[in-house]
Structure 1
């Protein structure tokens, strides 16, 4: 069985205008139609994620390509819209939830819009002897790349609140020099080591703000930023809105 995770990867959920609402409606309608067409079995969904299983690898690959193709036609064209579509496909093992979690972590970390593990590619090409995966549309992760991304996601998930997490400690965790770490992160994640750490912390800060889990200064301290003002500067640079403004937009 092939498992696919579809993720609208930008957590930023500002007060939505009509255009954003229309996007959401169009996107979900498009995904549901595409899943039905390609015999996808919906296991779990919310406003930003889909967990789907397929009995046929051909159906899974075709579905991923169709969702990818249709996404650009339902996406608002204005510059302030920043949601990105990410998809990852893996082969199910006995622990299906664990396999879905693996795919979700690949979605979270990779820079490529659609990624599959080698086992999915091999299964697809064994079913289609005269066809190959189009690598301009789908990134095939080798086992070492897959393992690295999963471990990276787990490491950041476990250490994001640690103010002592640095590029050096991250490199040490993987046994890599700075240059080696920089090379592999640019290749797989599309970011420098420092930006990987900072962006992950800001993502967690966004979740904490959204959940009203403490004041801005307490959240800045919790994610390991040296000062609330520096945190506010970084948050504004990444999300286009200051933390204080974001809280106003989501006042309860």
Structure 2
């Protein structure tokens, strides 16, 4: 049977005890609609509640809630239990709450998500054995530190990780430890983004909004750990207003966050177009060329032209890993007009030719 997560936006007067009562009323009549309530989360601070329910379809959930207490969910999405557990840490009621008659679970589903990209900036003189050794060491370091700071790996690739944390302090301290441990080793460069949010929004996927924004932060390739203004405020509130170290971390303002998200969305749509340049980017973002130059230099430390070129080259690296296209095909598909120019840019940026880079990664 499919599993769904729904979202209820709860009024000010509703408490965790009220939500627990509504959950109990659901359980009394769930069999009438072919449903099975698995657990729920309640966040009194953010005025949200989320139910995890096995059900034949969305309508059955709506009808069950309506019959039980009249509080119909504002949104319902289909989810996978294993993914829910990796994000939220459980898919059933906590043992402690099971022993109470009302089963009050004042546990928010709000999570801090971290996206980690581990890559090299320069590959000159690197051999395959060294690369494999670095990869194993990086993965082991990330896994160890995530576990140490009570995070949960949701998704793992060779060089990219998505991690969920209950605690903003743990997430920030884990990011700092990763930055310190991985960065000095053999020219490796972790790019880390932190964003916070809830599992169900207007999107179809669980934590879809939050994942996208954390990925945008990580994909900027910043020398510093990038985090949202909300993560910064929550961290400083939890730690008696201790100020984050600006040498290694950059908290973006709400306006800067909006700019970064718009920038990455524009690039996501246009990076394969060889005629798309800084002039087009400034027009799409609503800035003059000089305004865009100053803003990008201030936020990410790169000019628009350099950013566009590096964005395309990083996309090319991903395609080279797959070994499904020729270098010429990759050059044209990543917005370069000439394979020769592509190879030159790749060499200038990474210190290695695309053909040699491919040999490092493809057995």
Fold agreement, TM-score > 0.5:
yes
Tell me, yes or no, if the aligned pair for 2:121 and 2:189 is still in contact at 8 Å: no
Q: Is the 8 A contact 1:213 1:219 kept in 2?
A: no
With CA pairs under 8 Å and 6+ residues apart, which has the higher RCO, 1 or 2?
Answer: 1
1:30 maps to which of 125, 128, 141: 141
Change (3 A) 1:31 1:204: closer
Pick one of 291, 302, 318 that aligns with 1:207. Answer: 318
Q: CA deviation at 1:166?
A: 1.4
The corresponding residue for 1:128 is 239
How far apart in 2 are the matches of 1:18 and 1:190? 33
- Of the three residues 95, 99, 105, the one matched with 2:216 is 105
Q: Is the 8 A contact 2:153 2:164 kept in 1?
A: yes
CA 1:241/1:110 → structure 2, altered by over 3 Å: closer, same or farther? Answer: closer
**Count of residue pairs brought into register by the alignment:** 246
Residue in 2 aligned with 1:89?
194
Q: Which residue of 2 aligns with 1:114?
A: 225
Structure with bigger gyration radius: 2
Gaps of 5+ in 1: none
Conserved 8 A contact 1:89-1:103? yes
Report the alpha carbon displacement of residue 97 of structure 1 after superposing the two structures with TM: 3.2
Partners of 1:34 and 1:108 in 2: CA distance: 21
1:10: how far off?
4.5
2:163 is aligned with 1:58: no
| Structure 1 residues 54-112: Cα deviation after superposition (integer angstroms, max 9, x where no partner) | 11112112111111222245x12xxxx4x311111111223413312210111111523
TM-score (norm 1): 0.87
Q: Which has the higher helix share?
A: 1
Q: Among residues 104, 117, 122, which one is paired with 1:7 in the alignment?
A: 117
Change (3 A) 1:247 1:33: closer
Deviates more, 1:103-112 or 1:224-233: 224-233
- Partner of 2:269 in structure 1? 158
Q: Distance in 2 between matches of 1:13 and 1:240?
A: 6
| Alignment TM-score, normalising by the size of structure 2 | 0.62
Cα RMSD between the aligned structures? 2.4
CA contact (8 A) 1:161 1:223 kept: yes
Structure with the largest fraction of strand: 2
Gaps of at least 5 residues in structure 2 are 1-110, 201-206
